[in-house]
Amino acid sequence: MAKKKQAPPASLASLSFERPIEDVQHRLGELEELAQKTSHDLSEELNFYRDRLARLTREIYSDLSAWQRVQVARHPNRPLASDYIEYLCDDWVELHGDGAFGNDQAIVTGLATIRGRQVMLIGHRKGKHTKERLACNFGSAHPEGYRKALRKMQLAERMGLPIICLINTPGAYPGVAAEERGQARAIAENIYHMFSLRVPILVLVIGEGGSGGALGLGIGDKVGMLENAWYSVISPEGCASILWRSAEGKERAAEALKLTAPSLHRLGIVDEVVPEPLGAAHHHREQAMDQVADTFERWLNELESVPMEELLERRYQKFRQIAMAEEALSAALPGAAAVSESPEGQESPDSVEEAAPEKDPGTEGVQSRTDR
Q: What is the mean pLDDT of residues 161-168?
A: 96
Residue 208 · residue 73 · CB < 8 Å: yes
The structure's pTM equals: 0.80
Give CA–CA dist 143/159, Å, rounded. Answer: 24
- Name the pLDDT band for 313 (thresholds 50, 70, 90): very high
pLDDT score of 50 more than 90? no
- Which pLDDT score is estimated for 330? 60
Percent of the chain scoring above 70 in pLDDT = 83
**pLDDT confidence band for 160 (50 / 70 / 90):** very high
Q: Would you state the pLDDT for residue 334?
A: 54
Residue 137 identity: N
- What is the phi-psi region of residue 105: left when phi exceeds 0, alpha when psi lies from -120 to 50, beta otherwise? alpha
Q: Provide the residue type at 237 as one letter.
A: E
What was the pLDDT predicted at 8?
A: 43
pLDDT of 60: 85
Res 345 pLDDT > 80: no
Confidence of residue 340 (pLDDT cuts 50, 70, 90): very low
What pLDDT does residue 327 have? 56
Q: Provide the 8-state DSSP code for 88.
A: H
